[in-house]
Chains A and B, each alone.
Chain A
Amino acid sequence: MRTSATERPGFVWVAPALLFFGLFGLAPVLIVGYLSFTSWRGLGDPEWVGLANWAALPGDGQVRGGLVITMTLTALCWVTQTPLALAFGVWSAGPQRVRAVVSAVFFLPLLLSTAAIALVWKALLDPNFGIPAQVSEWLGLSHSNVLGHSSLALYAIVFIVLWQFLPFHMLLYQAAARQVPRSLYEAAELDGASGVQRFLRITVPQLRHTIIASSVLMLVGSMTYFETVLLLTAGGPGNATRILPLHMYNQGFVAFEMGYASAIAVLLVILGTGLSLLVVRATGYSRMTSQREGM
């Protein structure tokens, strides 16, 4: 057994992982495609109905509306999270003790589950016993039901998502900012560059891979806002916050139209997977070593 070739582990070492992941991770993608051509009530066997579900999709106002709300929500979340995460992440990467202490507090929302965060905010925004009741009393406003307001509800969700996910993205930027070679800053300082200039000319370009990775993670993660929306507003008031994943959930597990829900799901897989393939490209394995190119 001297040749090193015989010592290399073979396919059998990967097989259990692949089988397991194939069954619960990859097969569902194929099955959801199949189910989208069937009628299935959750019990018994799915019944082939051809293109019926797909034909119904364009006429479903909640699909079109849901698509718009999903994209609005995703865009608003990106716009609010990215600049703040970048600024706070870089700030917290500094060596000062106070920054370390403050960022330790910033990370606290990471410890709470999505369900916990949604329920705390729901109580905090309660129209009778929450903060809006008090604020509207001070300001003499009539509307204290934020989550029951047709346009405020969506902004409230954007804010809660920001509260929940900012620390995660901050963490990515903090780790990346610490990898930026100090010599760059020293050189810039000798050249008399101001703090803002150093941030824009050195920090931001050096963090470009992180910016891409974090952004794409946000886009893909928008699928998980489903849980927050379900717990906070359940899509309401009216359809104001009925994002597409929620519409799928309602069709599948409330109305038990699982065939039709699968067609919506395929739409989501195409959206989500298209975006996530960008994750692999952006954070990609092969690129990890070349992140600091030019150094």
Chain B
Amino acid sequence: MATGTRPGTSPGTGPGAGSGSPGRRGTGSGSGPGRGPRRGPAARLVALLRPRPGSRPAYGAGIGAALWLLVVCVPLYYLVATSLRGPGDYMSQGPLSVPETLTLDNYRNVFEVGFLGFLTNSLIVAFGAILLVLLVAVPAAFAIVRSRSRAVRISFTLFLLGLAVPAQAVIIPIYLIITRLNLYDSLPAIILPTAAFTLPISIVVLTSSLRDVPGELYEAMALDGAATWQVFLRLVLPLSRPGVVTVAIFVGLNAWNNFIFPLVLTQSESNRVLPLGLWAFQTQYGTDVPGLMAAVVLSTIPILALYLFGRRHLLSGLAAGFGK
């Protein structure tokens, strides 16, 4: 019955989790259940011997989790296995059988139907949206936290109201605006609305990470005679970094996965992004399921890499603004 350290994800994932719960910090280093600061050794021993809450087997949840594990894994196995099958193998073998021969032909075919172009477009859209959001959201969050102006307060309320606007429901006026700006069927046509609809949550996340900065820091800089923009560059930018990472991932994922904006606002193949490319592939080569699965795998690899190397950041970006 070890005092298990929390593996992988640190305690208090999620944006702004740092502000809460002092007793939940330490991973390992002997910080067992009895984490109160002034406990005698005897009390600590008792606490150590007692099973940690939640550490005893929870059979019901355990069985449920095992079942769900199966439900999660079967489609993922199918996805990878099918992407490696030859066409004959797909037709003759069962969907969940182990492929008899493995081939990378499907992946090669995907590259031949323009995958790299779709990938490039998706990357441009994702980074364009991230850049645009950060460019306007970080200064806005700074003002919202520090300003006493009424106009700023009203603006913040408008952003909060904006949280409530479902993008799908206003796709027709967005189409109107994009066509009037002569942007129809271009990458900016996707970038602009994507950035706009991720902006409210981004501002909420950045604002709450800047709220944790003690006012004395600002006042100290003001006493040194620093101008507002100097405060912004030397204090706000460095301190908002965790929020910026969360926002960047949140916006990037939204742009990467978005389907409705590209569907409605672009049409030519040269402006096609990945999700639309997958759909077009399915419509064009309907019977080539192994090829489609290879395309799905390829389109997921960048996000998978992000998950493997920055899991905590990815998850906090996913739950942006709501992870608390």
Contact = CB atoms under 8 A, between A and B. Distances in A.
Contacts of A91: 58, 61-62, 64-65
Interface string B271-285: 000111011001000
A292 B172 CA distance: 42
Interface stretch (A51-59, A145-153, A277-285): A277-285
B227 A1 contact: yes
B299 A26 contact: no
A238 interface: no
Contacts of B243: none
B51 to A, nearest CB: 8
B252 to A, nearest CB: 12
A17 interface: yes
B130 interface: no
A226 B315 CA distance: 24
B104 interface: no
Contacts of B148: 5, 8
Nearest to A31: B173
B296 interface: yes
A112 B151 CA distance: 40
A265 B200 contact: no
Interface string A267-295: 01100110011011001010011011000
A102 B170 CA distance: 39
A17 B203 contact: yes
Most buried by B among A32, A95, A261: A95
B275 A114 contact: yes
Contact of B4 (A96, A129, A178, A188): A96
Contact of A123 (B169, B207, B293): B293
Given A23-B196, A179-B24, A276-B164, A226 B260 contact: yes
B144 to A, nearest CB: 7
Contacts of A217: 322
B218 interface: yes
B9 interface: yes
A189 B55 CA distance: 12
B160 A94 contact: no
Nearest to B192: A24
A223 B173 contact: no
Contacts of A262: 172-173
Nearest to A202: B53
A283 B205 CA distance: 12
Nearest to B36: A183
B291 to A, nearest CB: 11
A24 B208 CA distance: 24
A83 B54 CA distance: 18
B166 A268 contact: yes
Interface in B64-94: 64-65, 68-69, 71-73, 75-76, 78-79, 82, 90-91, 94
Interface string A189-222: 1000001001000000000000001100100100
Given A13-B139, A107-B315, A189 B58 contact: no
26 contacts: A4-B222, A14-B144, A17-B159, A18-B140, A18-B159, A26-B165, A88-B61, A88-B64, A91-B65, A99-B65, A100-B6, A105-B72, A107-B307, A116-B296, A116-B300, A119-B296, A123-B289, A124-B75, A130-B95, A163-B72, A175-B12, A182-B35, A252-B175, A258-B175, A265-B169, A273-B165
Interface of B: 4-9, 11-14, 16-17, 19-21, 23-24, 33, 35, 47, 50, 52-56, 58, 61-62, 64-65, 68-69, 71-73, 75-76, 78-79, 82, 90-91, 94-96, 132, 135-137, 139-140, 142-144, 146-149, 151-152, 155-156, 158-166, 168-177, 192-193, 195-197, 199-200, 203-204, 207-208, 218-219, 221-223, 225-228, 231-232, 256-257, 259-260, 264, 274-276, 278-279, 282, 289, 292-293, 296, 299-300, 303-304, 307, 311, 315, 318-319, 321-324
